[in-house]
Amino acid sequence: MANKQDLNKRKVGRGSRPPSHGLATTSVPQDAHATSIAVPLVRGSRYSIPGRNGRVQNSRHRRWSRTVARHFVWVTLITSFVLTVAAGCGPSEEVEEPGRPGPTAERTIGVVLKAIDSEFWLAVRDGAQKAATELGVDVTVLAPKSETDVEGQLNKIEDLIAQKVDGLAVAANDVESVIPTLERAAQRGIPFVTIDSDANAPSKLSFIGTDNVYGGRLAGEYIVNALGGEGKVGLITGVPGQQSHIARRDGFLQALEGSNLELVPPQPANSDRMMALNVMENLLESEPDLRAVFVTNATMSLGVSEAVKARKLEGEILLVGFDTSEEALGAVRSGEIDALIAQSPFNMGYLGVKKLVEHLDGKPIDKRIDTGTQVVTRENLDEYVASTQRSTS
């Protein structure tokens, strides 16, 4: 018959109530350290009697873990099912190669301007945005901080290439350095056109802009006729190396051929108003008998006009500018500027985007698109203003 001490040991081993001292002991296997582990047993505690290998067996914890695991499996299955159904019901995304025909709403056209610091470039931007709205495409318009920031402009073009736009319209600050970047775009399936300033890139689809040689010739002819073919004339140009200013200069020089007009050394003013003012002041100082000056953009024309006004020479020096702006047109109305060679910057932006979309739709486009040029004087100013309002409405 088992004695009382043996019965107590069996009850403890079966997980029954511990002895009065509140501790239960168990021995670890023979191949482990021969020690005993004392585990406090308190009523209501989450601990239970130690199990095999001396590890405390937490039965409640095990049951809770199994319950959580089952719930996790069900939640995972239900979530996966809901996401699958949602994906099947939602719109599908079509992946298309840049520059290839696809749904119009998914297309993005990148437009890179020379700057965004004048009414001229704001008009180009407005034209691009209007075309994008009409055609149902997105347009991203970028520009460097100034027309002299060639590297900054190249970085803007690189950014659009990295974004995989569907087409590019670029007004290059430097028509030579931009060519490798534009050709890299073409190699990646992105077609491009040039606007305002042309670049001889082999993969170019089209040049969209002014015939600048013709515009320069119009300016020269106006001065030749106004002066009767005699006298000294000046020429103030933009950033050296910019193709549009070079072309205007060349056209102007063509118009002077065969006349008795004497051209004083041309001076650059980097398309900057204050710099043009300073250049003109120096020119008036060195050439007191100057009778006329041709300035190759509107911003510089305003600076030249200020210099003439400061010397109280209004009406004595003929001033012809290139491009228009609200302030420059006001100067024509007041007689401070005699004539402006007007372009259509709005059409450059508008047709730049439109022709790229037509190309993406598989339609042919002309290699050269003239956006128009005309001489604006006080006599036809109102007619010109009315025509530009109609084209932008």
3-class state of residue 196 by DSSP: coil
Identify the pLDDT of residue 77.
Answer: 52
Identify the pLDDT of residue 21.
Answer: 42
* Average pLDDT of span 93-112: 59
Which band of pLDDT confidence, cut at 50, 70 and 90, is reported for residue 106? confident
Q: Distance (Å, rounded) from C-alpha 320 to C-alpha 223?
A: 8
Range with the poorest average pLDDT among 6-10, 33-37, 105-109, 189-193: 33-37
Q: Distance (Å, rounded) from C-alpha 34 to C-alpha 275?
A: 97
What pLDDT, in 10s, does the model give residues 202-258? 999 999 999 999 999 999 999 999 999 899 999 999 999 888 999 999 999 999 999
Q: Which residue has the tokens 């228009």?
A: 324
Q: Distance (Å, rounded) from C-alpha 358 to C-alpha 365?
A: 7
Domains (range + CATH), the chain:
1-85 (no CATH), 104-210+346-371 (3.40.50.2300), 212-342 (3.40.50.2300)
**Residue 121 CB neighbour total at 10 angstroms:** 21
Identify the pLDDT of residue 43.
Answer: 38
Cβ pair 127, 349 in contact under 8 A: yes
Q: Is the pLDDT of residue 125 over 50?
A: yes
pTM: 0.66
C-alpha torsion angle, residues 280, 283, 287, 288 (rounded to 10): 40
* Average pLDDT of span 357-380: 96
* Average pLDDT of span 79-83: 49
Cβ pair 259, 228 in contact under 8 A: no
Q: Distance (Å, rounded) from C-alpha 328 to C-alpha 302?
A: 7
Pairing of the two strands 36-40 and 23-27: antiparallel
Pairing of the two strands 23-27 and 339-342: unpaired
Residue length, the chain? 393
What pLDDT, in 10s, does the model give residues 267-293? 999 999 999 999 999 999 999 999 999
Q: Which residues pair with 207 in a beta bridge?
A: 194, 368
Which band of pLDDT confidence, cut at 50, 70 and 90, is reported for residue 3? very low
